[in-house]
Amino acid sequence: DEKEKFEPTVFRDTIVQGLNEAGNDLEAIAKFLDAAGSRLDYRRYADTLFDILVAGSMLAPGGTRIDDNDKTKMTNHCVFFADEDHDAIRNYAQVSNG
């Protein structure tokens, strides 16, 4: 029995790249997340996935982002960067509920 390595930064990089490639199209984002779910372990990296979908990158304890302002480690396709209106936030919630 080999134990699988826990690599949240690799997971983050994969998710962020896919979100950034999907652009501003929430339907494309939802399709990417759906397709990626078959090859990425969302349960194992649930906290990391939640951080990315809400804050745009991984968060350290206390809530600071762990991306060193490296654009390849963060995305603007998240709740924190969404328009501040009910419909925009609801659309992001629907994407994350998939």
Q: pLDDT of 38-53, one tens digit each?
A: 899 999 999 999 999 9
Is the confidence at residue 1, as pLDDT, over 60?
Answer: no
Query: What are the backbone angles phi and psi of residue 65, rounded to the nearest 5°?
Result: -75, 145
Whether 52 and 58 have beta carbons less than 8 Å apart is answered as yes
Tell me which of 18-32, 36-50, 82-96 is least confident: 82-96
